[in-house]
Amino acid sequence: MAVAPIIAETFAPLVDLVFPPRCPLCGEGIAEQTGLCAPCWSELVIPGEPACATCQRPFANHAAGEGAVCAPCQQSPPVHDGIAAGTLYNEASRQLVLRFKHGRKIAMAPMLARLVAARLPATDGGRVFVPVPLHWTRLWQRGFNQSALLARELAKATGGVLLVDALRRSKRTPPLGGLGRKARERMLAGSIEVASARKSALAGRDVVLVDDVLTSGATSTACVKVLKRAGAKSVVIACFSRVLDEAIP
């Protein structure tokens, strides 16, 4: 066993004594530092089956057969090779993201990443994990890239390779909320690039693009396009929460 896990296990009771484990959502006492209480777990919506064979959007109709493709993917086939979402976006997942990203509770990263890892498709070879980049000004203001923290935990959990600096934002873009698809594309045009030094590490590899929340998909699509132009064999988008209001009962 590695030294770090032994040290963590040794001092865990002391940490729990000084900082009693509490649910990061409601504040109730829990058994360990790494989860939620049972009622808060039940508030999360986990994507289920049947789902779109292309983007994993859950189908409301349980009669949908294997290989069925959702209407949005039929109308506009995506450039990605699948979406692995740990949860569907609702108030519970929203509050977790807010605490993680803006509340600076970065110790939540392993817990959030476990939910995402459970949704990743099986693969024969090693994956390369690449986080959606922040512009350097936002990184400086926040102090960390939440997507990079998730990517690090996913790489550790699956034995993959982390390329935290494979993508970079060459220009800062304003919030995209309220903009149409074409307007988002224009705003993001040329804003995301592959680092020259990382192109050889991406060529021919199965890449997992990691983000905290997937909304319209405009940013992730821009990332997928540049990764594939750099030679990536496939690009699956992994996120903690995916905004699909129509899929939530």
Query: How does pLDDT run across 2-53, given as a tens digit for each residue?
Result: 544 544 444 444 444 345 778 888 888 866 667 889 999 999 999 988 899 9
Mean pLDDT (the chain) is 85
Q: Which tokens in the block code for residue 117?
A: 């890892």
Most confident of 6-10, 62-66, 192-196: 192-196
Indicate the residue type of 27.
G
Task: Show the CA angle centred on residue 94, arms to residues 226 and 133, nearest 5°.
Answer: 25
Nearest to 95 by CA among 105, 85, 84: 105
Print burial letters for 208-247: b (CB count within 10 Å at least 16), e (below 16).
bbbbbbbbebbbbbbbbebbbebebebbbbbbbbbbbeeb
Tell which residue, 52, 49, 102, has the closest CA to residue 77. 52
The pLDDT of residue 46: 93
Give the whole-number percent of the chain exceeding pLDDT 70.
Answer: 84
Over range 146-155, report the average pLDDT.
96
Would the pLDDT of 231 be above 90? yes
- Residue pair 83/89 in contact (Cβ under 8 Å)? The answer is no
Q: Write the Ramachandran bin of 91: left for phi over 0, alpha for psi from -120 to 50, otherwise beta.
A: alpha
Band (pLDDT 50/70/90 cuts) for residue 240 is very high
Would you place residue 176 in the very low, low, confident or very high pLDDT band (cuts 50, 70, 90)?
low
Domain range summary for the chain, segments of one domain joined by +: 1-43, 46-247
pLDDT of residue 216: 84
pLDDT value at position 177? 60
pLDDT greater than 80 at residue 197 = yes
Query: Residues 100, 132, 121, CA angle at the centre, nearest 5°?
Result: 90
Mean per-residue pLDDT, 126-152: 93
Give the model confidence (pLDDT) of 76-123 as tens digits: 999 999 999 999 999 999 999 999 999 888 989 999 999 999 999 877
CATH number given to 46-247: 3.40.50
User: What is the reported pLDDT for 82?
Assistant: 95
Q: Tokens for 75?
A: 């109308």
Q: Is the pLDDT of residue 130 over 60?
A: yes
Per-residue pLDDT, 180: 64
